[in-house]
Amino acid sequence: MYDFEFARPATVDEAVALLADEDAQALGGGQTFIPTLKQRLAAPSRLVSLSGIAALRFVRMEGDLLCIGGGTTHATVAREAAARFPALAALAAHIGDPAVRNRGSIGGSLANNDPSACYPAAALGTGATIVTDRNTHAADDYFQGMFTTALEPGEIVTEVRFALPEAASYQKFVQPASRFALVGVFVARMAEGVRVAVTGAAEDGVFRWTEAEAALEDDFAPGVLEALSLPAEGMIGDMHGSSEYRAHLVGVMTRRAVVAATASG
């Protein structure tokens, strides 16, 4: 580690002002960024912690939307979203370990957009809206590649708005050391159609499996996916699993998600 200024603002406006410095960096729960600092892969002159902004921590219904503050921890989402959106609550309840769930935040996860993170699959799988201090982003436009989003420098995720699905499930094949998704699939039957979002598998990060969506639109049953497969090209291949293995797992986890969503719906 190295010397840097640490700030813990109490409001979003204060945080935005502090982040105006070109070398400033926002800090959510720090599950990804603190190890990055320790490895000297980042060197901000100022670290702006968002953990002191009470206005960013909430879970509430606004009309037909479940709205979650960007600073809301995974543990809080798991507890307070369970009645309205059980698939999202279950996803949050199985992120990392208790320490991660009590420090990590939904906004931090979506801002970081780790290619194996869980929340990006939920956001893309439901067509969520990511609200920031200056913009409103549709999930389909927000995720732009590995660790890349539509966020501008200094932009803060303040809220995530989820339309509630008619039926949904997230199924994750866990990488046991990190608890990240080796492959995770979020399937949601929404009012406007079926959405299938995959995380952990592709080099470019979270993506929609449109062929599976089209098949499930005609018949929301796991059997319609048997004839479908994804190419290994573009999939992550590492010591935990080859690209071919991950491509195969996408189909397996999608079918499991459909079975679970059907049972819950």
Sites in the chain below the pLDDT cut of 70 = 1-2, 265
What pLDDT is attached to residue 227?
92
Token pair of 150 as six digits: 């539509």
Q: Which residues pair with 224 in a beta bridge?
A: none
Q: What pLDDT score was predicted for residue 171?
A: 98
Q: Beta-carbon neighbour count of residue 16 at 10 Å?
A: 18
* Residue 27 falls in which region: left (phi positive, over 0), alpha (psi -120 to 50) or beta: beta
**Alpha carbon distance 234, 67 (integer Å):** 34
Quick check: 22 and 58 in contact, CB under 8 A? no
Residue ranges of the chain that CATH labels 3.30.43.10: 5-49
The superfamily in CATH containing domain 167-264 is CO dehydrogenase flavoprotein, C-terminal domain (3.30.390.50)
CATH class of 5-49: alpha beta
pLDDT at 86: 98
Q: CA angle at residue 31 from 126 to 69, to 5 degrees?
A: 45
pLDDT of residue 145: 94
pLDDT, position 45: 84
CATH topology of domain 55-163: 3.30.465
- The residues of the chain that CATH labels 3.30.465.10 are 55-163
DSSP-assigned states of every residue in the chain? ----EEE--SSHHHHHHHTTSTTEEEESS-TTHHHHHHTTS---SEEEE-TT-GGG--EEEETTEEEEETT-BHHHHHHHSTTT-HHHHHHHHTSS-HHHHHH-BHHHHHHH--TT-SHHHHHHHHT-EEEESS-EEEHHHHEEETTEESPPTT--EEEEEEEPPSEEEEEEEE-TTT-SEEEEEEEEEETTEEEEEEESSBTT--EE-HHHHHHHHH--SGGGGTT----STTB--BTTB-HHHHHHHHHHHHHHHHHHHHHH-
Distance CA 16, CA 26 (A): 9
Neighbours of 33 (CB within 10 A): 20
What is the predicted pLDDT for the residue at 188?
98
Q: 43, 2 in Cβ contact below 8 A?
A: yes
Q: Which of 258, 69, 191, 33 is nearest to 25 (CA)?
A: 33
Per-residue pLDDT at 30: 78
- pLDDT at position 113: 93
Predicted confidence at residue 94, as pLDDT, reads 96
Structure tokens, 137: 């982003």
Residue type for 230, please? Answer: L
Whole-number pLDDT of residue 265 = 65
Q: Please report the pLDDT score of residue 1 as a whole number.
A: 56
pLDDT at 2: 67
